Amino acid sequence: MLSPKQIKILEWPYTGKRALICDGAVRSGKTSMMSLSFVLWAMGNFNRRAFGLCGKTVASAERNVIQPLQAMTYFPQYGFSLEYTRSAHVLTVTRGSRSNIFYVFGGRDESSYTLIQGVTLAGVLLDEVALMPRSFVEQALARCSVEGAKLWFNCNPDVPEHWFRKEWLLKLREKNASHLHFMMDDNPSLSEETKAMYRSLYSGVFKKRYIDGEWTAGDGLIYDMFDPDVHVYRNSETPLGLKYTASRTIACDYGTANPFVLLDIYDDGETVWVDNEYRWDSRDLERCGRQKTDQEYAGDFQRFMGDDPQFFCPAVVDPSAASFIVALQRRGVYVMDTDNDVPDGIRRVSSLFGRRAIRISERCEGLIGELRSYVWDSKAALMGVEKPVKSLDHGPDALRYYVNTCLPKWRYGEEE
C-alpha cells in the first residue's frame, strides 16, 4: 500500500519538471519510493544509458538504495532483473531487451568525485543530498547532459541557511523543480508504536528537524535536554559492581595549550556511566600552570587507568592527536580508530541524553560545567554550517568520540 504522497513520487516523471525534491522527517518513505520511481522512470524512457545513484558514501547508498531495491518484490514480478556488482559499484537493470546501468557514488568519498567527472548521465538520484559536499552535487548535476535527464533529490532538513535549501528549495520555479514534504504519517508501513519510538529518539533541534521535518537552526545550548537532576549521579548511587561487569573505555580530548581531558566510561549495555574525569589545563595557573609533553600525558593516562590489569581498557582519542596516540601505543595501550563526525556525534549524544541513557558522576565537574555551556555557533549557522562554538568543548568532545566509536548504532536508534 502506498500513501498519496508516495503516489505523487511515482507520477512525478510525467509532470514535465526537471527536478524533484523530497524532504522531511526520518523514516517517512522518501528514499524507498524515490528509488523505485527513479528506476521505473529510467527503464521506461531510456535504453543503454547510465544513471547515478549517490549517497553520503558508497556504503550508505548501498544500504539505503541498492539493498532495498533488490529486496522489492515488484521487480521480479514485472520481469525486471537487478544485478549489483559490488566491486565496481554498478547496478545493472534489465527488462527484456532493455538495459541500463546505475553507477553508485558517495558524495564524501574522494574516489567518487574523480569517477563522476568522467561519466555522462541521463539522470541522478541524490539520497541525503544535504549531507554531501556542494562541489560533489554540482559535479553530479553537470554530468546529466542526456536529453530528458532528470534530477532526484531527497534529504532530512538541516540549518535554514544550508546551501541546498537556498539554491534549490527556495528556487523551485527557476530550477523547474517540484517539492514534496514528507512526515512519518506519509509512510503507511509505520505502526503507531514505531512512530512513538522514533519520536522518543530525538530532542531539541533534532526533534524539529527529524520528526517535525522543519529546516531549523539550533539556538543556544546544544544539549538543552541535559538536566543535572536527571543525568548526574552521586557516588553513593554508583551501581554495585559496575566496574566488574560493564565494559570500560577511557575517552580523551587532547590539548597542550587547551585543556587535556580524560573520561572514565563504563557501559553496562543500556546506560553509559561517565564515572570520573581527569583534566590538565595549562592555562589554569593555580592548579596546573604549565604545558605537559605527550610522554607526561601518557603517564597521566596510565595512572588514571590504574595498574590492575583486570581494569585495563581501550582508549578513544581525539584523532588529530597523532603523537600522543603513538605515545600511548608505545606503552601498550590499545587506541581505537575514532569516528570524529561532529553532527552525527552530537545527534547521538542528544538522543542518549533524551532517553536518560547517559549518566555522569558528580565528580566530573569539568564535563558537567562544559555540557551546560556548550552552544551552537550562531554565526556559522548564518553561513549554512552547523557547528558548536569551539571553546569549553573538551569534555563534550571526548564524550562524542566515545559515543560515535564505541556504541552499537541501535543504542541511539540507528540501523546497523
Ligand X SMILES: Nc1ncnc2c1ncn2[C@@H]1O[C@H](COP(=O)(O)OP(=O)(O)OP(=O)(O)O)[C@@H](O)[C@H]1O
Contact positions toward ligand X, by CB under 6 A?
A: 1-2, 6, 26-32, 68, 156, 182, 187-189
DSSP assignment of 174-229 equals: HHTEEEEEE-GGG-TT--HHHHHHHHHH--HHHHHHHTT-------SBTTTT--HH
If residue 352 lies in a helix (H) or strand (E), which one and from where to where? Answer: helix 342-354
* Least gap, CB of 415 to ligand X (angstroms): 9
- Would you say 3 or 31 has its CB closer to Mg ion? 31
Contacts of 300 (CB under 8 A, 6+ apart): 260, 262, 278, 280, 292
289 vs 291: CA distance, rounded Å: 7
Options 16-24, 30-38, 277-285, 371-379: segment touching Mg ion (CB under 5 A): 30-38
* Least gap, CB of 68 to ligand X (angstroms): 5
- Would you say 296 or 344 has its CB closer to ligand X? 344
First to last CA, the chain: 26
* Least gap, CB of 389 to ligand X (angstroms): 28
Options 31-39, 99-107, 240-248, 353-361: segment touching Mg ion (CB under 5 A): 31-39
Cα dihedral sign, 378-379-384-385: negative
Nearest CA to 122 out of 31, 218, 42, 58 is that of: 42
- Would you say 187 or 338 has its CB closer to ligand X? 187
Residue pointed to by grid coordinates 537552526 = 217
- Residue 156 touches which of ligand X, Mg ion, none (CB < 5 to 8 A by kind)? ligand X
- Residue 288 touches which of Mg ion, ligand X, none (CB < 5 to 8 A by kind)? none
* Least gap, CB of 38 to ligand X (angstroms): 12
DSSP 340: -
- Residue 2 touches which of ligand X, Mg ion, none (CB < 5 to 8 A by kind)? ligand X
- Would you say 38 or 402 has its CB closer to ligand X? 38
Torsional class of 156: left (φ above 0), alpha (ψ -120 to 50), beta (otherwise): beta
Q: Helix or strand or coil: residue 331?
A: coil
- Would you say 28 or 100 has its CB closer to ligand X? 28
Instruction: Enter the C-alpha cell of residue 120.
Output: 555522462
Residue type, 132: M
Site size toward Mg ion, by CB under 5 A: 1
Among 6, 28, 31, 35, binds Mg ion (CB under 5 A): 31
Options 27-35, 77-85, 214-222, 365-373: segment touching Mg ion (CB under 5 A): 27-35
- Residue 247 touches which of Mg ion, ligand X, none (CB < 5 to 8 A by kind)? none
Residue 47 near residue 99 (C-beta atoms within 8 A) = yes
Q: Which residues bind Mg ion (CB under 5 A)?
A: 31
